[in-house]
Amino acid sequence: MASPPEPDAGGLTDYERRRAENIRRNGVILDSLRRKAAELSAIIQLSRPPTKKQQPRARPCAPAVVRRSLRTQGLPPPPASGPAPAPPRRSTRITPSLASSILDATSPPAPEAKVRDDGFDARTELVLRPSNVRRLVSADRIPSLRILPLVDRTVVAAGSNVGHVGFWVVDDDGDDAHRVFEYMPHLSSVGAIVAHAAKTQKIYSCSHGGEICLMDLERENFNINRLSEFPILSLCQAPNSPSCLYFGEETDVKLFDDRIGKVSTSWNAHASRINSIDFHPENTYMLATSSRDGTACMWDLRTMKKKGVESLVVLEHDRGLQSAYFSPSGHMVATTSLDGIVRVFSVDNFENFHTVERNNNIGTHLSTFKAIWGWNDMDLFIGNATRAIDVISVDLNDSSISTTNNACLKSEHMVSIPYRFSAHPCKVGHLACSSSSGKVFLWTRA
């Protein structure tokens, strides 16, 4: 075992002696650093220019304000402005007079939900009278429009870009206070408005805010039936079941059953947002959808419950599609793309189609066009940038489809570009169109 270190003559061990030496050396170094810091500080102080002590600035006195009333100045009082004007009627409580106008109307029999007239010539028989121009909503744009399926009267419903829904009872007498009604059931742009001929007392609408709203005329109120986190821009009722609502939620088509209050069927239909849904007028199991992905698809609802469902046919386009609608007979389907191009396909042979030649210089308008069919398989209506309506004549034969686009409807009373249309399902010759001015124009027979 090693012995402990022996102390030196001063009584310190070797370790203690080295420690004391280190302490002394560090002290010498610190003293040297303090001297250098003091010298440097003195040099800096000598190099700074002397500063003058700033005196506080005096606050400027505010000018005295002399307040003198008109009475003390010997002037008469201003004229009374009267009570402030009442705000426009915007609520979710339905006005009883509107409810009675629709409930008292006659609904069409089920087999004749939409009338047809192959002899009607829209080019010569439709006119726009000054009395048939109305502002239905206080907002600028009307992205959705629908004439309700009523036999003995005309009621136009319009949805605005800020969530308002306006109604115009065209046949009632009196001023607009008893004919035009505006409500605010949604908080964002209204995507579509639908009403079934078998149940006209219930009107549905959808919005960019993901709402499906029921307007119940019997209860005189609006109810939110479904709320989604995605925009809902397309809505359609099944022909044989008014309570079955097919709607597009982003890339999916979903079936909402209002009787049970939930979605019963859902399938992925497109790669982008769905813009329209339409049923075949004869084959109620056949459905057409259009999407921003540039395709229109045909579906067979009888196969929807199977896994890995596929569309019957896919119609491809260069630009995104705004709509795909069946003709009144169901023999054709017309599509409208984002650039305003219209194509007409034969349902019996989709390779038989025709692209409509028209002026597609739509500029930078905020709204897009959607072509709709009239009351026969011969007329398509679509707006153009010259504040007119193109009437496209269609001819289908066994081997080909031909179109003619050399007629249009113009009127000095239509002061803005029409881009949404609705044909009266029960009255031939009643065509409504909306514009970006918040107005609705109703063309009727001459």
201: CATH: 2.130.10.10
Q: Is residue 291 part of a domain?
A: yes
Q: Is residue 99 part of a domain?
A: no
| The total number of structural domains that make up the chain | 1
Residue type at 181 in one-letter notation: F
Regarding pTM above 0.85, the answer is no
Q: Which residue has the higher pLDDT, 378 or 219?
A: 378
Sole residue written with tokens 């107005």 = 439
Closest CA to 436 of 422, 418, 421: 418
Token digits of residue 162: 């800020």
Distance CA 213, CA 166 (A): 14
Q: Which residue has the higher pLDDT, 157 or 67?
A: 157
Q: Is residue 50 part of a domain?
A: no
11 pLDDT higher than 80:
no
Q: Is residue 30 part of a domain?
A: no
Q: Which residue has the higher pLDDT, 194 or 436?
A: 194
Mean pLDDT of 145-165: 93
Distance CA 173, CA 157 (A): 18
pLDDT digits (tens, 9 = 90+) for 59-111: 545 444 444 555 555 555 555 544 444 434 445 678 888 888 888 887 776 54
**DSSP-derived 3-state class of residue 219:** coil
Q: Is residue 55 part of a domain?
A: no
Q: Do 389 and 379 form a contact (C-beta atoms < 8 A)? A: no
57 pLDDT higher than 90:
no
Mean pLDDT of 375-399: 91
Q: Is residue 60 part of a domain?
A: no
For residue 106, the 8-state DSSP code is P
Q: Is residue 33 part of a domain?
A: no
Q: Is residue 64 part of a domain?
A: no
Return the pLDDT at 94: 80
- Expressed as residue numbers, the domain containing 295 is 126-445
Distance CA 115, CA 426 (A): 5
